[in-house]
Amino acid sequence: MATNLILRFRVGVSRPHTAAVGAAVPFCRASVAVPFCSSIRDFSASSSCALSSRLVSPSLSPRLNAPVACSQFSGLARTVERTGRRPAASESRPSRRFASLFSSDSSSSPALFSASSTPALHSPVSPAFSTALSTSRVSALADCSRLLEAKRGFAVGVFQRTKPHLNIGTIGHVDHGKTTLTAAITKVLADMGQADFKSYAEIDKSPEEQKRGITINATHVEYETSKRHYGHVDCPGHADYVKNMITGAAQMDGAILVVSAYDGPMPQTREHILLSKQVGVPRLVVYLNKMDMVEDQELVELVEMEVRELLSFYDFPGDDTPFVKGSALKALNGDTGEYGIKTIQDLMQACDDFIPEPERKADLPLIIPVESVLSIPGKGTVATGRVEQGTAKPNEAIEIVGGRDKPLKAQIAALEMFRKTLDDAQAGDQVGCLLKGIKRDEVKRGMVLGAPGYLKTFKKFEADLYVLKEEEGGRKKPFFSHYRPQAFIRTGDMACTITLPETTEMAMPGDRVSCTVELLHPTALHEGLRFALREGGRTVASGIVTKPMPEK
């Protein structure tokens, strides 16, 4: 029977006989929950040690979360307890206290040891365990501190590459159930041992998202099916956060379009289909959500027909696209009915069968567009993004380009994917790169990590544009030279100026035109790169780079 003990202690780096791993603070209080074992060998070697600590010092950054381990117990140590009883004065020394608590006679301290299912602990404790804990130096906790050292960063294991990896995600109109579906997928697959369950609150975890009940930033989760390993991006559906949706969609190899069967396709449904096509998402699978709210099944057929027409309009195979009808909320709650768990299983099967495995550009030089940047205390600056091409390895020299005239030299200190360390990152992987010698404010979203000397930056380039019609969500009126929309290139966005040829007076909605684009900042570009132009909350044109123009 597994029994967890709560070790509550106070550690401080200001005293020579105590140590805190990962936090340079005068003192802090923390608790460590560990399985009670019959011997010191089991205690130190157990890979399933449920180690956790909680900092309660208000001066500490909340990002530290759980980095504190103690390799020595001293007079500052509190009791190993569940009842909260404070030790008597006669037990003030650790040797006396721990000798009494870990006596091999379990009946001597029934109030201190209790399992969740039994009133008292009756497992005998070896003398080696009590002896080790009766000294001020506990070797077992030194082993535990090494386990917590991994927790000090954000890696909790090593990524095992046993299946093909694909990046997919949920897109669609706000409130159609994208985040609920993401949570339901992790719940159903977690019950099958193929994922870690992420609740709705864990996916939309920022205070603003929880307050407003909408997704703002694209969130990443992982799961597996019998055939593939998936990285899943939950994209925001609100019109105000299409910029974040474009960033998420630019990393996808396929997508799940979520449409409410009760409401039908809405404005962001159309726009997300368009943007998915523009950033190169090859296939979509449709999940008709909220089927439990629909009373008339004929309406569902009309919704399906309308969505298929939309897909065909934007050059997706509308007639062949698989549709799965269900209720993400019912599946999340464990419903085994018609619209519950089985629909999630059918959806994953459709993704396996319909979304093709992309050809990875593994033999080309490294390119990683930066999606987000964060700073980990005690570690350094981490840039996250999807490996567009090439491979990356720890201790490899790279350049950070974009946003400035000269590239920034850097080195990859470590690689991680979904909180697991990577020996090498391959094309298609969604990775976090720990950058050596780089400050947090030196890297921004939209910059690109690349092989030294490979990437070139440009402020001007020639492009072919397709101007969207009004019925496609574009402009009602034409635009002229010196038009200034927002350009979305890879994961970045910036203001730009469009200059039309002298022979072209204006660009009408529906026209295909050649033009010159001048960006506000230098950006890594190459021939054939796709981009989008947006203005006033709508996508007005899509384009492709035909010729980067070096500055004279």
Task: Kindly report the length of the chain.
Answer: 552
3, 179, 381, 384: the active-site residue: 179
151, 165, 176, 178: the active-site residue: 178
42, 143, 175, 424: the active-site residue: 175
- Cβ atoms of residues 108 and 91 within 8 Å: no
Q: Which residues of 519-549 are buried (b: 16+ CB within 10 A; e: fewer)?
A: bebbbbbeeebbbbbbeeebbbbbbebeebe
- Cβ atoms of residues 225 and 255 within 8 Å: no
Positive or negative: CA dihedral 156, 162, 163, 166? positive
238, 420, 436, 444: the active-site residue: 238
In degrees rounded to 5, what are phi and psi of residue 486?
-105, 130
Residue 179: active-site member? yes
Taking the C-alpha atoms of residue 209 and residue 88, their distance in angstroms, rounded to an integer, is: 48
Residue 409: active-site member? no
If you ran DSSP here, which 8-state letter would residue 229 be given? E
Q: Which amino acid is at 429?
A: D
In degrees rounded to 5, what are phi and psi of residue 243?
-55, -45
Q: Which SS3 state, helix, strand or coil, does residue 28 take? A: strand
- Cβ atoms of residues 72 and 104 within 8 Å: no
Contacts of 259 (CB under 8 A, 6+ apart): 172, 173, 176, 265, 269, 286, 287, 288, 289, 303, 307
Given its phi and psi angles, is residue 512 left (phi above 0), alpha (psi -120 to 50 degrees) or beta? beta
Give the residue among 503, 499, 541 at the shortest CA–CA distance from 519.
499
Given its phi and psi angles, is residue 497 left (phi above 0), alpha (psi -120 to 50 degrees) or beta? beta
Residue 175: active-site member? yes
Give the position of tokens 């074992």.
Answer: 37
Q: Helix and strand tally (H, E) in the chain? A: 12, 22
Angle formed at CA 177 by CA 275 and CA 273, multiple of 5 degrees: 15
Q: Would you state the torsion angle of the CA atoms of residues 275, 281, 286, 287, taken in this order, to the nearest 10 degrees?
A: -90
How are beta strands 165-171 and 255-260 bridged, if at all?
parallel
Calculate the CA 455 to chain-centre distance.
26
Residue 325: active-site member? no
The residues annotated as belonging to the active site are 175, 178-179, 238
